[in-house]
Amino acid sequence: MATQKVVVKQLQGITLAGKANSNRWVMMDGPESFGGSDAAIRPKELLLISLGGCTGSDVISILQKKRVKLDGFEINLTADTSEEHPQVYTKIHIEYVFYGDKISDKDVERAIELSETKYCSVSAMLRNSVEITNSYRIEKNIESQ
């Protein structure tokens, strides 16, 4: 069993820096009204970025193995939050956007399915506590974003 170790250090107020096994620091902060400096990303936002990064790297890798050429790729995530504390995400929608010619729906759908059901550990951790939906679109060129 692999063990992940993380350290989170207070810099000032609720401005924090965190570092994991990769030995790279990430800054986190909150709004000034909550004791922060409003100088970095919120911890809860990092969760969405992690989900996007996890599934995105899976999908790109799977499509590369299928020799699908992408001119560009992005993921748009939208999350609904409960109104009462702890204000958790109640629904997350992932929109995958692929740019390029000769990208088939079949390849894209299979890559997304494999990421969601087999490879994306962030999705697997969230699956039982939040509804996650997805959609995708294929654009012929990157200028249409």
Q: How far apart are CA 79 and CA 45, in angstroms?
A: 10
Q: Given pLDDT bands bounded at 50, 70 and 90, which one contains residue 64?
A: very high
Q: What's the CATH number for 43-144?
A: 3.30.300.20
- What are the backbone angles phi and psi of residue 117, rounded to the nearest 5°? -100, -20
Distances (CA, A) of 57 to 25, 65, 80, 122, 137: 20, 12, 24, 12, 17
The string of pLDDT tens digits covering residues 111-145 is: 999 999 999 999 999 999 999 999 999 998 766 44
Model pLDDT, residue 143: 61
Domain definitions of the chain by residue range: 1-41, 43-144
Q: How far apart are CA 58 and CA 112, in angstroms?
A: 8
What's the token pair of residue 93? 């929608």
Residue-averaged pLDDT of the chain: 95
Task: Note the pTM of the prediction, 2 decimals.
Answer: 0.91
Q: How far apart are CA 89 and CA 91, in angstroms?
A: 6
Mean pLDDT on 37-59: 97
